[in-house]
Structure formats: structure tokens, C-alpha cells
Structure 1
């Protein structure tokens, strides 16, 4: 049975963290025969009710970080999970929900010798326009993961994570930076869409770029392709 630590950075996510943790509880229950799972939420410079909501979920640990820095928050959570003996780190975000098979697929990858599992994400279609949803469907083919790295759906072997130096205190793109360095130490990497995570479709996130920035860029490109007709 694998010992897995789930790390979730959260900065003022009181509106979304409950759904995240509820989905994770289902995934943990689905994997109870193959994994011992602990969960750490890192409240990153929160000024809302995020910590109280996390505290209402039994068995979920909450740590505090005052850096307002997602790279540092992920590193804080990873350090604690590693200190407690986990051998695999599963990462998601507080504005995301994981599917029921999320932990099971992480375990399968770890047991197959994979060091880095790069999972796919999709935005919450309820938060997008019909045009944005159509664009997403047209550019994503089931069974053909694009290999884009997302902190909302990422799994890493602890030994390789440590060999690469772990997360750096970056304000954004800390996930891509880590995977680049893990590849540099010879990690076995797998891109998969078997356990796709649904993440927020908001256009303004907790960093200047990130997935929200990606969605803004798509919106802007679609607007340029379909300019409004003057009347």
C-alpha cells in the first residue's frame, strides 16, 4: 500500500475549498484498498474563512504560510507530508475538484514506475461562454493528453522530487519549473487524461498568469476572431 500525501495551496478560497475537499474525500474512499492518504491544505496569506472551512473536514491538516507565494505554499505542504513519511505527492488546487478515480490513477502510475504524472484539467464549463466551451472541446481530444503541466493535477515521486530540489518560491509557473527540473534528473514522466480535474473557469486568479491567464488569452483571441459588428 502506497503512502500518499495530497498538498493543496489555498489563498482566500472560502467559496471553493469545500467542493474541492468533498471531491477529494470521495477519491480517497475509492482508493482505500491501495493507498494510505493524508491531506495538507496550506492557507497562503488567507484573510477570509478558508481555514475554518478546512477545519470542518475531518482528517485534513491545515498549515499557514504568510508568503502570498504559491511555490512556497506548495513547498511547505510537501515538506510536511514528506516528514510524515509519504513516498508520493499528489497536488491539486483549492479551486478545483478531482474525479473519484484520481487517487487510484496516481497509485497506478507510482506502482508502474512513473516519477511524474502530468494530469489534464478542464475549466468548469458553467463559468464559460458557449463559444469558449466550443473552443475547448475543439482543441482537446480525449485520449490524447497535451502534456501541459498543471499544479491542479500533478503527481510526483518523493525521491525524484527531492533529487530535483523541490518547489521553489515562485509566484507562478512553479509547477512547470519543478517538472523541468525533475526531467533534468532523469525522471520517468507520463501525461494522462484518465483522471481529469475540473478547475475554476474564472478569468482573474490568484496569480497574474496561471490558468486564469490562459483562459483570458483564449477569450481575447476569440474576441479578435469575432469582432462585434458596429450598428
Structure 2
């Protein structure tokens, strides 16, 4: 989990991961889980929140970096996790990636390992914008463009799982400011790894339009918001024109 100044979301994100870890322990107690949090040039209370969480939960590693780069942060987190495990365990290790402004469902780890056990090398999950504080029309536009369906064509770093051996062979996350998730998936595809997409484990992510990455999820929502507002204005103008008396014209 990469983190850059997420003090308002980080606590909920970590709590959701703790719940998913407990759910996995109940169903598959033989599986070990480790959480790696990468604090990337944080100047707010994110470090305090992460360290407090690590102190209360076993298996949590906090890594501090100054990249200001999403791809480099993700890559550093994976590298730290692999160093801890040892390269000899790559084939039996699954890397589950999410974001600090997102909340995974309780069965998130369970579902990801089900895909891993089925032979997939990577699974592309879906996301759901948090409706709290989000413009209702923007949320409606999101749902129209992203219906609930399996085999969707989206890639989200907030909900991405990959076999560690496949990740290593593909070259890992490139150090991109944004779209590092899509770049990794393209690397995996070029090498012929088995990839599937699912809507069965949706992650709730921030609905903010102030993006941390130049072409990230928030930037996409901002563009969608502009398009939604323009469509509403056009619809209102059409309604107004339709209400004019017969034989008249606007202006």
C-alpha cells in the first residue's frame, strides 16, 4: 500500500485490511499474511497513523521513502515484502495491492487466493467510488459507465493481485507517476501470463476529484464530472427549447 499524505483515509484503509486478514485467518489459518505500508514523502499524520497500526498488529512493515512517485512506491513495497519472505518463496507468494484511500472488502484476501489457486497469475478487481460527499450526478455517471460485470476491462492499483513469481519475471511496477498498474498488466500480458478480471470483490475508493497522480483515478473522476455537467446543461437547454411556443425560436 503506497501512502502520500492520506491522514483522512489511511485509518479506515488499514482497518479494512485488518478485517480482511482476520477473515483469511479464520478460513485458511495456514496462510501467512504480511502488510507493507510505503510512506512516500508524507508531511501529514500518515506516518503516525501507520506506525500506531503497526504497533498494534503483527506482520505490518512500514517503509519510508521520498519518491513522490506511485510506481516507485509500489515497487519499493513489493521489494520489501519479497526481501522479508525470501526469493525461494516467490511461486507460493501472492501480492495483493491496494491504495491508502481505499477500503477492501472483508473477503478480499480469501477471494484473491481463490483466483490464485485456480491458476491465474493476476486478477484485476473493480472499485466503487465512496458516495460520501460525492456529487450524486457524478456517481450516477460512474455507475452508467461501469456496470457490475465480470471480465471487465479496467485496471485499478487499488484492487490488483499478482503472483510474485510472475511479477518478478515481468519486471514489476515501473517508476511512473501514474498508470503504473496498467503498465505492469501490459508487461504481464506480453509475457503470456494468465490474467482475469472480476467484479466479485469490489474495493471502495475515494470519490474525490483532486487527484494525487496526474492521470490517476481522481483525475478520471474530474474529467467525468466535467462531461456530466456539460451533458446536464445540454439536456436542460433542450428541455427549455422544447417548452417554447410553436413557431418561435430561441434568441
Bin the TM-score by the shorter chain.
Answer: over 0.9
| Matched residue, 1:67 | 67
| Matched residue, 1:98 | 104
Distance (whole Å) between structure 2 residues aligned to residue 139 and residue 221 of structure 1: 12
The Cα of 1:125 is off from its aligned counterpart by 1.2
Look up the SS of the partner of 2:125 in the other structure: strand
Distance (whole Å) between structure 2 residues aligned to residue 168 and residue 216 of structure 1: 25
| Matched residue, 1:5 | none
Please point out which of 21, 26, 50 is paired with 1:54.
50
| Matched residue, 2:246 | none
Look up the SS of the partner of 1:36 in the other structure: coil
Look up the SS of the partner of 1:22 in the other structure: helix
Q: Which runs of 5+ in 2 are unaligned?
A: 238-251
Please point out which of 165, 170, 188 is paired with 2:176.
170
Stretch moving more, 68-77 or 127-136? 127-136
| Matched residue, 1:81 | 81
| Matched residue, 1:192 | 198
Distance (whole Å) between structure 1 residues aligned to residue 178 and residue 141 of structure 2: 25
Look up the SS of the partner of 1:213 in the other structure: helix
1:120/1:147 contact within 8 Å kept: no
Look up the SS of the partner of 2:34 in the other structure: strand
| Matched residue, 2:127 | 121
Q: 1:136 to 1:145 in 2, by over 3 A?
A: farther
- The TM-score, its normalising length taken from structure 1, stands at 0.92
Look up the SS of the partner of 2:233 in the other structure: coil
Distance (whole Å) between structure 2 residues aligned to residue 180 and residue 127 of structure 1: 34
The Cα of 1:145 is off from its aligned counterpart by 4.5
Stretch moving more, 137-146 or 44-53? 137-146
Q: Does 1:182 align with 2:188?
A: yes
Which protein has the bigger strand share?
1
The Cα of 1:140 is off from its aligned counterpart by 2.9
Q: Which runs of 5+ in 1 are unaligned?
A: 1-7
The Cα of 1:171 is off from its aligned counterpart by 0.6
Stretch moving more, 156-165 or 58-67? 58-67
Q: Does 1:212 align with 2:218?
A: yes
| Matched residue, 1:141 | 147
1:120/1:145 contact within 8 Å kept: no
1:133-152 C-alpha deviation (Å, 9 max, x unpaired):
22222233323352210000
| Matched residue, 1:37 | 33
| Matched residue, 2:245 | none
The Cα of 1:55 is off from its aligned counterpart by 1.1
Distance (whole Å) between structure 1 residues aligned to residue 40 and residue 146 of structure 2: 32
